[in-house]
Structure 1
Amino acid sequence: MTGRGRHLRVGVCLSLSGRYGRFGGQARAGLEVWRAWAGAVELVVEDDESRPDVLESGLLRLAEQCDILLGPYSTQLMRRAGDVAARLDRLIWNHGGAGDDVEAAHPGHVVSVPTPASRYAEPFLHHLASEAGGVPLWIAHGKGAFGRQVAAGAEVTARSLSIPAVRVATGRLSPPAGTRRWALMCAGSFEEDVETVRNALALANPPSRLCAVAAGVREFGQVVGDPRGIYGVGQWSPGSGGKPELGPAEADFVAAYTERAGVPPDYPAVQAAATAAIAVHCARATGSTSRDALWSAATRLQTTTMFGDFRIDPLTGTQTAHRTVLVRWDADGPSPVR
């Protein structure tokens, strides 16, 4: 297959229904906005229903008809997608699975754009160390591998910053009694994080600093009664990406997405669109959509999109340049912490 000078078909399985539907729908809207900007590109979307088995059958169909394959949203689903890509000897562009094991599982077959899970908590912990040094930190993780990897990375970073840390499973908080200050970082599914935040705020001695991965998206404010003062960590926030060398400018994308969806985008939409822009660039630059050509182009590429920096480890495909963004909720919503 050749990519230069012809129409490209981009295939993607997304959770348009099921447990990841809120994020898969955002990713689809983001890709549709990007497609209108990209020109000679056809976008083919299948609903994976948030189920690995449905994802696999959908990817097999897309692989037969599409030049470029984009991964699904969620670490769990991307784990299966990487297996399928390796089995087919295809390359899949990962925009929605930040798990460390997922990013490094299939060198030569998976190119990852998001920051790996183990580095998710870094901006919050550096902020905590500078603002509330010595305050002990409880790190609560959910049942899945993503949450455990975020927590493990947070524990390592906390230790390097001399922050006393206790790592616990979600639902097993045992904060200090009395009025002693403490901080909480939680990482799990959206639902797990929301439950942990609610439980923590209801304690007699709630955390003085609270950060949740779920608080990195706007929907968090709709399900938590009063999110003001809560920190969130996400892959992107308005203004965090800088000037893009590839893909649409952030202001143009945000305006078009907002007009289409009725609300501003969260990072699932932006990371999907940025990944598509990188994938199509590599196909057009090399004139080929073969796995070898795309992998070679991706490993040589160091660039920026509205999502932020892009560079991968040439041995594993793991993202090395992009950084997560810390936000803090106020009356107007989440705002980046500079």
Structure 2
Amino acid sequence: MSPDRRLRLGVPLSLSGRHARFGRQAALGLEVWGALGASVDVVVEDDRSDPDVLEGAVRRLAGRCDLLLGPYSTQLARRAGRVAAELDRLVWNHGGSGDDVETAHPGHVVSIPAPAGRYAEPFVRHLVDGGDRTRLLIVQGRGRFGRQVADGAERLAGEAGIPVTRAGPGEVPAGGPWNLFCAGSFDEDVEMIRRARAGSRVMCAVAAGVREFGAALDEPGGIYGVGQWFPGSGGEACLGISEREFLDAYRVRVGRLPDYPAVQAVAAAIIATHCALRAGGAGREELWAVAAGLETSTLFGAFAIDPRTGAQTAHRAVLTRWAAREAAAGLPARPVLVARRGR
């Protein structure tokens, strides 16, 4: 494939519906990346946060585009993987970190984000490094993603000698005080923090890893968040644009910094186009072979996959902590980076 040829990259994203908060960020990230000189035509279809609509979008994009990126959300990525396998196409998964999503279709799904079962790594490590082995209350959300994040947190806590109590969505068991780890949807995590903060010592939530958490919760200061990326965590980019270049361009275009959904979508696009150029084409087998042997980094951080499954093995979640509002100065609360990786 000539390096001068413009590839067509198809992306189903939630521009509307329940996942639109982050699907739109991913679309904006790809728009900013394209404006920085990427030799790729990005074609976005709104999946409306609906698995059936998503399936139709993937099928249409597969017929029009050289490369396919997946949707945002583990539920939607699960369906996209099945469709890609049926069509014998490869989908670059940037928005579905469920353990089963990353391993379900070897040869057809290459995953960019760290799997759900490793989300809690940096928080558990932070507790251990501080000598805090207080009982950990793990509250999972509805659905498989929340269960997988919670299962991983329980396993990691057990390995560290931290006792665990598990609870379902919205449950606050009697007892305490606890350290709290929430693994649900954005809205589930926000509601759980509201309900449990009086009885918890240290609190961490998946939802707190994005900036919108500060607008959804009064006084978020002191709450930890886990996420796939945070400004300053990307490190050196061996492929594609640097983190700083992208952040500057995104801030000019949007007026604020992005959350990790935008950055992981751009990372997927960078890796996908790199593999297509290395392979000399966009055939599934050729793309898989290049991706399976690739060990590199982008603005999102490290990249390598298990060559048997396509699951991400190199990237790690990051830990943030919300600083208190500076009311006297009229400044809002803001998240700050605590740890780049779990290990």
TM interval, short-chain normalised: over 0.9
Equivalent residue, structure 2, for 1:320? 313
Structure 1 segment 93-172 matched on structure 2, within 5 A? 93-172=92-171
CA contact (8 A) 1:274 1:307 kept: yes
Q: 2-side partners of 1:65 and 1:38: how far apart?
A: 22
Q: 2-side partners of 1:133 and 1:217: how far apart?
A: 25
CA contact (8 A) 1:244 1:304 kept: yes
TM-score using structure 1 length: 0.96
CA contact (8 A) 1:20 1:74 kept: yes
Q: 1-side partners of 2:78 and 2:256: how far apart?
A: 30
Structure 1 segment 85-96 matched on structure 2, within 5 A? 85-96=84-95
Equivalent residue, structure 1, for 2:328? none
Equivalent residue, structure 2, for 1:43? 42
Aligned residue pairs total 331
Q: Which moved more, 1:3-12 or 1:163-172?
A: 3-12
Equivalent residue, structure 1, for 2:292? 299
CA contact (8 A) 1:175 1:182 kept: no
Equivalent residue, structure 2, for 1:72? 71
1:253 and 2:253 equivalent? no
1:194 and 2:195 equivalent? no
Q: Which moved more, 1:44-53 or 1:133-142?
A: 133-142
Aligned mate of 1:233, from 226, 233, 244:
226
Q: 1-side partners of 2:104 and 2:77: how far apart?
A: 10
**How far off is 1:154 after superposition?**
0.4
Q: What amino acid is aligned across from residue 195 of structure 2 in structure 1? A: N
Q: Which moved more, 1:274-283 or 1:131-140?
A: 131-140
Equivalent residue, structure 2, for 1:337? 338
CA contact (8 A) 1:4 1:285 kept: no
1:284 and 2:270 equivalent? no
Q: 1-side partners of 2:131 and 2:174: how far apart?
A: 17
Q: Runs of 5+ in structure 2 lacking a partner?
A: 326-332
Q: What amino acid is aligned across from residue 278 of structure 2 in structure 1? A: A
TM-score using structure 2 length: 0.95
**How far off is 1:223 after superposition?**
0.7
Q: 2-side partners of 1:132 and 1:258: how far apart?
A: 39
**How far off is 1:175 after superposition?**
4.5
Aligned mate of 1:269, from 221, 240, 262:
262
Q: What amino acid is aligned across from residue 143 of structure 1 in structure 2? A: R
The SS at the match of 1:44 is: strand
Q: What amino acid is aligned across from residue 247 of structure 2 in structure 1? A: V
The SS at the match of 1:69 is: strand
Q: Given the superposition, is the C-alpha separation of residues 175 and 310 from structure 1 closer, same or farther in structure 2, using an over 3 Å criterion? A: farther
Q: 2-side partners of 1:265 and 1:251: how far apart?
A: 12
**How far off is 1:61 after superposition?**
0.6
Q: Deviations over 1:124-143 (max 9, x none)?
A: 01111222523110000001
Q: 1-side partners of 2:2 and 2:23: how far apart?
A: 27
Q: Deviations over 1:247-277 (max 9, x none)?
A: 1111110011111111111000000001100
Q: 2-side partners of 1:78 and 1:169: how far apart?
A: 24
The SS at the match of 2:200 is: coil
The SS at the match of 1:248 is: coil
Q: 1-side partners of 2:39 and 2:173: how far apart?
A: 56
Structure 1 segment 173-192 matched on structure 2, within 5 A? 173-176=172-175, 181-192=177-188
Q: 2-side partners of 1:29 and 1:327: how far apart?
A: 23
The SS at the match of 1:9 is: strand
Q: Which moved more, 1:161-170 or 1:104-113?
A: 161-170
Q: What amino acid is aligned across from residue 334 of structure 1 in structure 2? A: P
Q: What amino acid is aligned across from residue 190 of structure 1 in structure 2? A: F
**How far off is 1:4 after superposition?**
4.1
Q: Percent identity?
A: 59
CA contact (8 A) 2:127 2:133 kept: no
Q: What amino acid is aligned across from residue 145 of structure 1 in structure 2? A: R
The SS at the match of 1:337 is: strand
1:14 and 2:13 equivalent? yes
**How far off is 1:68 after superposition?**
0.4
CA contact (8 A) 2:93 2:110 kept: yes
CA contact (8 A) 2:15 2:48 kept: yes
Q: What amino acid is aligned across from residue 234 of structure 2 in structure 1? A: G
Q: Runs of 5+ in structure 1 lacking a partner?
A: none
CA RMSD of aligned residues (A): 1.1
CA contact (8 A) 2:4 2:39 kept: no
CA contact (8 A) 1:247 1:306 kept: yes
